[in-house]
Structure 1
Amino acid sequence: MNPLKRLASQTAIYGVSSVFGRFLNYLLVPFLTYSFAPAEYGVIAEFYAYMGFLAVLLTFGMETGYFRFRSSDEHAPEVVYGTVLRFLVVSNALFLLAIFLMREPIAELLRHPDSPEYVWWSAAILALDAIGAAAFARLRAENRAARFATLKLIEIGVNVGLTIFFIYVCRHAHASDPQSLLGQLWIPEIGVGYVFVANLMASLVKLLLLAPQLRDGFRVFDGVLFARLIRYSLPMVVIGFAGIINEMLDRAALKYLLPFDDETNMAQLGIYSACYKLSILMSLFIQAFRYAGEPFFFSYAKQADAGRTYAIVLNWFVICCVFLFLLVTLYIDVFQYFVGSAYREGLHVVPVLLLANLALGIYVNLSIWYKLTDRTLLGAGVSIIGSLITVGLLLWWVPIYGFEGAAWAHLVCYSSMVLISYVLGRHYYPVPYDVGKVLGYVGLGVGIYLGSGWLQSATSWHALAVGSLCLAAFLAVVALVDGRKLLKGAGRRSHEPNG
C-alpha cells in the first residue's frame, strides 16, 4: 500500500478509537465540573499531573527502544519484546511496593494528609499502565491497530462507566438511603477519589484483556540486548520527562505558585485544568498521529524519497491542526458548555493553549531527526531547554498573571523547541520541509481567528454564522492553494512499487 495512505489509514484507526474513547473521557469533564466545585476538581488535576511525570519514568523510554531494535533486524522481535516486558514488570512491582510503604509520608508532603489512599491508588494505576504499555507497543509494531483501538475503547468505557456509576448513581443512592446496597458503595470521605478507583479498575480490566500479549513476553530475556536498550532508551526518559514538564508542570505547580490561599489556588487550578480540556480535539489528533507516525517514520526511513514524504506529512498535519484550532475557537460559544459555569472565566486562555498544542504537534514531526539517527541525547537536550524555559516562565509569570501566564509559557516553550529542532534537523537529517507554507497556514489560522472578532462586531452577525463563514474561507484557501497538489502527490505515490 502507498505509505502515505497506510499512515493515513493507521492514523484514522488510532484516531477513531482515540477520538471516540477520549470523547467518552471528555464527557467526564462536564460531568465532573458540574458535580464538584473547582477546588475539588483541582485535586483530580493535581494528581493526574503528578501521574504524568511518573508515567514517563516508569516506562523508561522502552516503547521507542522497542520500535528501534525491533526494526533493526539484529534481534528477533519476540526477544526484544520479552526483554522489555520483563524489565517493566520487575521495575514497576518494586515501585508499587515502595509507594505502598511510604504512602502516608508522601500524602503529607503533597498537603493531602487525610487522603493517603489517593497516593496508593495513583501508583497502582501507573504500574499497571506501564506494564500494559509494552503490550500496546507490540500491537502497534505489528500493525494491529484494530485490536489496539478495541482494547483502548474498552478501558476508557469501563473507566467512564464506573466513574458515573460511583459519583452519580451511588452518590444519589446514598443521599436517598445510606443503608441501601448502592448507597453503601458511596463513602463521602473518598469524594473525588472515586475517579481514581474507577481508573484503577479500568486498568485492571485492560491488563486482563492484554493477557495473550503479556503471556508470550515472559519466554525470553537477552541481557546484552537489555544493556543496549537501556543506553538507547534512557535519553528518551529525559526527553519524555522534559516533555511532561512542558505539558503538565503548570498543573502540578499552580497551587504552589499562585499568590492566594490554598483553597483559592486549588479553585484556580480547577478552572485552568477544565479550560485546558477544551484543547482536547487538537490533543486527540496529535496523539493519534503519534501512535501511527512513530512506527511509520522508522519503517519508511530507508526509502529513497523518505524526506519528501515526511515533508508532505507535515503539510497535511499542519492543515489539520489549524482546522481544529479554528473549529474550537470559532465555536467557543458551543464548546464552553462542556465545563460548568463556575469554570468559564478561564475561556480566554483556550486559543493560546490550542496554538501551543499545534506547536507541539509540529515538534513531534520534526523530532524524527534524532530518533532516526540515534542522537537521542541531542533530542534530550532540546527537551531540557524547553523544560528550562517552562520552569523559568512559570516562576516569573504565574505569580504575576495567574494561570494566563502558564498558558503563554506553554506556547513560548513549544515554539522555541520547534525552532531549535528544525535547525538541528537540517544538519543531522535534512528534510525538505516547506517552511513558508507551514508558517503561512499557521498565520492564516491566527489571522482568521482575530478577524472573526472584528467581523462579528462590524456586522452584528451571530457568532456561529461568523464562525462558519470563517471556517469555510480557510477550507477554500486550502483547496485553492494545496488541495490538488497534495492529492496529486499522494496519488502518484500509490502507483509506485512498495518497499
Structure 2
Amino acid sequence: MSLRQLVSQTAVYGLSSIVGRFLNYLLVPLYTYTFSTGEYGVVSEFYAYAGFVAVLLVLGLETGYFRFRQRPEFDGERVYCNVLSLLLLANLAFAGGVWFWQEDLAAWLQYPRHPEYPLWFAWILALDALSALPFAKLRAENRAWRFAGIKMAEILIAIGLNLLLLLLWPKLAAIWPDSAIARYYDPQVGVGYIFIANLAASAAKLLLLLPQFRAVPFVLERAVLAPVLRYSLPMIVIGLAGMVNEMLDRAILKLLLPYDLQTNLQQLGIYGACYKLSVLMTLFVQAFRYAGEPFFFSYAGRADAKRAYALVMQYFVIAGVSIFLLVALFIDLFKYFIGAEFREGLTVVPILLIANLLLGIYVNLSVWYKLSDRTGLGAWVALAGAGVTVALNILLIPEYGYVGAAWATLVCYGFMVLLSWGLGRIYYPVDYPLAKIGYYFLLGLGLYGADRYAVAHYQWDVWLCGGFGMLVYLVLTYWLDLRPLFRKGRI
C-alpha cells in the first residue's frame, strides 16, 4: 500500500464511518429524549462492559493475522482458516457460558429483573468477534469499499430497528391497544429494545460476511496457532488496558460516585451522552486505525518507511486539531444532539476531544512495537497507562464526578504518548516533527481559549467568533503545510 492509498482508504473508511456513525449518532437524541438520565445510564454501563469483553473475544488475532499473513513461511489462507476456527470455538463457548449463568450475571450487575440483558449482549459480542477477522481480511486485501458497505448496512439496520422498536411500535400499540401489535409490545423491556436492535444488526452483518467464511475448513494447527498466539496474546493485554483507559470511567462511575444508585446512574447517563459529542474525533481515529495498520506493515520494508510514518503523524495531528476546533467552537450547535437534561455535562467535551486526539497519536506511535515484534513491551506501556487511569479515576471521581473522569482520560493518554515515544526512540526511532506537532496543538488550544474568552467577556457572537477561529486555523494550515504538499504532488 502506498502513501496515496493510505490517504484514499482512510477517506473511504472515514467517510463510511462518519456517514454511518453520524446516522447512528442521530439515535443519541432519540435515546436522550426518550429515556431518562438513569435509564440511559444503563445503556452506557453495558456498552462500557462490552468494550472489555470484546477485546478478550477477539484474542488480539486481528493484528496477528496482519503480521503472519505476509510471512514467507506461512500461507495467508492457512493462517486465516486457523485463526477463524479458533475464534469460532472461543465465542461459542463464551455465549454458551453466559446463557448458563445469565441470572447470576444479571444479579451481580444489579439488574435481577432483566436476566436477558447479559445474554443479548453476549450474542452481540460473539457475533461481532466472529466478524472481526473477515473484516481484517477485507482490509488486508485493500477491499475498503466492501468493508465500508457492510459496516454501513449494519448501521442502517440498527437505526431502522431502533426507530421501529422505540418510536413506531409503542405508538401503534397505543393506537390499537387490543391488537397483536400491542399484545407483543412490552414497555418493561425499556432500553432492552436498544440491545435487541443491535443484536439483529450484528447478525445481519455476519450474514453479509458469509463469502469470507465460504470454503473455510475448521482447522486448528499447532504449527500455525502457536506463533500467532505468541505474537497476538500480548495484544489482549494492550487491548484490555486500552479499554480501561477508554471505558473504565463509565463502568465504575456508579460505584465511585458518592450518591445513591439512582443518582449515580443519572450522572453516568449525562457523562455517557456528552461523551458521544466527541464522536467525530473517535471516528477519525478509528478510520485511521483501519487504514493505518495495513499501511504500516506493508510499508515497513521500504527505505523511506520512517520518513513516511513521520509525515503521516504530522498530517494526522493537523486533521485532528481541526476536528477538535470544529466541535469545540460550535458546541452550541452540537449540544442539541442530546436532551436538555444531559447538557449540564458539556464542560467535559473539549477535554475528551483532546484526550481522543492523544489516543490517535498513540496509535501512530505504536508502530515501534508492532514492527519490532515487541508486543510484550507494548503491553507494558498499555498496562502503565491503565494503572494511571485506575488511580486517577479512584482519586478524582469521588471528588469531581464525571469531570474528574474526563481529566483522568486526558492525563492517561498524554502519559502513554510520552512513554511510547520514548521507547520508540530506543527500539524503532522515527524522527517525528515534534516542533510542528507542538505548534498545531498550541494553535488549536489558543484559538479555542481566545474564542471562549471573547464570548464570555466581550459577548461576541458565538457563531461569528467560532467561524473566525476556524477560518484562521484552516488558512494557516493550508499556507504552511497543505500548499507545499499539493505543489509537490504528494496528494
What's the TM-score once normalised by structure 2's chain length?
0.98
The whole-number CA distance in structure 1 between the counterparts of 2:89 and 2:456 is 61
The whole-number CA distance in structure 2 between the counterparts of 1:357 and 1:189 is 36
Q: What aligned pairs does 1:284-295 form with structure 2 within 5 A after superposition?
A: 284-295=283-294
Write the letter of the residue equivalent to 2:107.
E
Instruction: Report how far residue 75 of structure 1 moved.
Output: 1.2
Percentage identity across paired residues of the two chains: 54
Write the letter of the residue equivalent to 1:284.
L
The whole-number CA distance in structure 2 between the counterparts of 1:473 and 1:153 is 34
Write the letter of the residue equivalent to 1:188.
P
The whole-number CA distance in structure 2 between the counterparts of 1:60 and 1:178 is 48
Q: What residue is the counterpart of 1:52 in the other structure? A: 51
Q: What residue is the counterpart of 2:430 in the other structure? A: 431
The whole-number CA distance in structure 1 between the counterparts of 2:265 and 2:183 is 29
CA RMSD, 1 decimal: 1.2
Q: What residue is the counterpart of 1:334 in the other structure? A: 333
Which secondary structure state, in structure 1, belongs to the residue aligned with residue 214 of structure 2? helix
Q: What residue is the counterpart of 1:309 in the other structure? A: 308
The whole-number CA distance in structure 1 between the counterparts of 2:434 and 2:216 is 43
Instruction: Report how far residue 219 of structure 1 moved.
Output: 5.8
Instruction: Report how far residue 459 of structure 1 moved.
Output: 4.5
Instruction: Report how far residue 217 of structure 1 moved.
Output: 2.6
The whole-number CA distance in structure 2 between the counterparts of 1:379 and 1:20 is 33
Which secondary structure state, in structure 1, belongs to the residue aligned with residue 113 of structure 2? coil
Q: Write out the 4+ residue segments of structure 1 that deviate beyond 4 Å after TM superposition.
A: none
Q: What residue is the counterpart of 1:173 in the other structure? A: 172
Q: Is the 8 A contact 2:82 2:218 kept in 1?
A: no
Q: What residue is the counterpart of 2:197 in the other structure? A: 198
Q: What residue is the counterpart of 2:279 in the other structure? A: 280
What does the per-residue CA deviation read over 1:293-334, in whole Å, with 9 as the maximum and x for residues that have no partner? 000000000000000101110111000100000000100000
Cα distance change, pair 215–112 in 1 and its aligned pair in 2 (3 A): same
Cα distance change, pair 422–59 in 1 and its aligned pair in 2 (3 A): same
Q: What residue is the counterpart of 1:215 in the other structure? A: 214
Instruction: Report how far residue 349 of structure 1 moved.
Output: 0.6
Q: Is the 8 A contact 1:79 1:222 kept in 2?
A: no
Q: What residue is the counterpart of 2:402 in the other structure? A: 403
Q: Is the 8 A contact 1:139 1:148 kept in 2?
A: yes
Stretches of structure 1 that go unaligned for 5 or more consecutive residues are: 495-499
Is residue 458 of structure 2 the alignment partner of residue 485 of structure 1? no
Q: What residue is the counterpart of 2:143 in the other structure? A: 144
Is residue 254 of structure 2 the alignment partner of residue 232 of structure 1? no
What does the per-residue CA deviation read over 1:222-257, in whole Å, with 9 as the maximum and x for residues that have no partner? 321101111110000000000000000011100000
Q: What residue is the counterpart of 2:20 in the other structure? A: 21
Which secondary structure state, in structure 2, belongs to the residue aligned with residue 189 of structure 1? helix
Q: What residue is the counterpart of 1:8 in the other structure? A: 7
Which secondary structure state, in structure 1, belongs to the residue aligned with residue 250 of structure 2? helix
Which secondary structure state, in structure 2, belongs to the residue aligned with residue 426 of structure 1? helix
Stretches of structure 2 that go unaligned for 5 or more consecutive residues are: none
Instruction: Report how far residue 488 of structure 1 moved.
Output: 4.5
Q: What residue is the counterpart of 1:455 in the other structure? A: 454
Write the letter of the residue equivalent to 2:17.
S
What does the per-residue CA deviation read over 1:342-386, in whole Å, with 9 as the maximum and x for residues that have no partner? 100000110000010010010000010000111001100000000
Q: What residue is the counterpart of 1:417 in the other structure? A: 416
Which secondary structure state, in structure 2, belongs to the residue aligned with residue 269 of structure 1? helix
The whole-number CA distance in structure 2 between the counterparts of 1:180 and 1:244 is 45
What does the per-residue CA deviation read over 1:390-413, in whole Å, with 9 as the maximum and x for residues that have no partner? 000000000000000000000000
Q: Is the 8 A contact 1:78 1:220 kept in 2?
A: no
The whole-number CA distance in structure 2 between the counterparts of 1:218 and 1:136 is 18
Instruction: Report how far residue 443 of structure 1 moved.
Output: 1.2
Q: What residue is the counterpart of 1:79 in the other structure? A: 78
Write the letter of the residue equivalent to 1:12.
A
The whole-number CA distance in structure 1 between the counterparts of 2:215 and 2:440 is 47
The whole-number CA distance in structure 2 between the counterparts of 1:246 and 1:168 is 34
Instruction: Report how far residue 176 of structure 1 moved.
Output: 2.6
Instruction: Report how far residue 479 of structure 1 moved.
Output: 1.9
The whole-number CA distance in structure 2 between the counterparts of 1:277 and 1:93 is 31
Write the letter of the residue equivalent to 2:148.
A
The whole-number CA distance in structure 2 between the counterparts of 1:207 and 1:444 is 44
Q: What residue is the counterpart of 2:153 in the other structure? A: 154
Q: Is the 8 A contact 1:13 1:149 kept in 2?
A: yes
Is residue 253 of structure 2 the alignment partner of residue 254 of structure 1? yes
The whole-number CA distance in structure 1 between the counterparts of 2:339 and 2:318 is 31
Q: What residue is the counterpart of 2:295 in the other structure? A: 296
Q: What aligned pairs does 1:22-41 form with structure 2 within 5 A after superposition?
A: 22-41=21-40
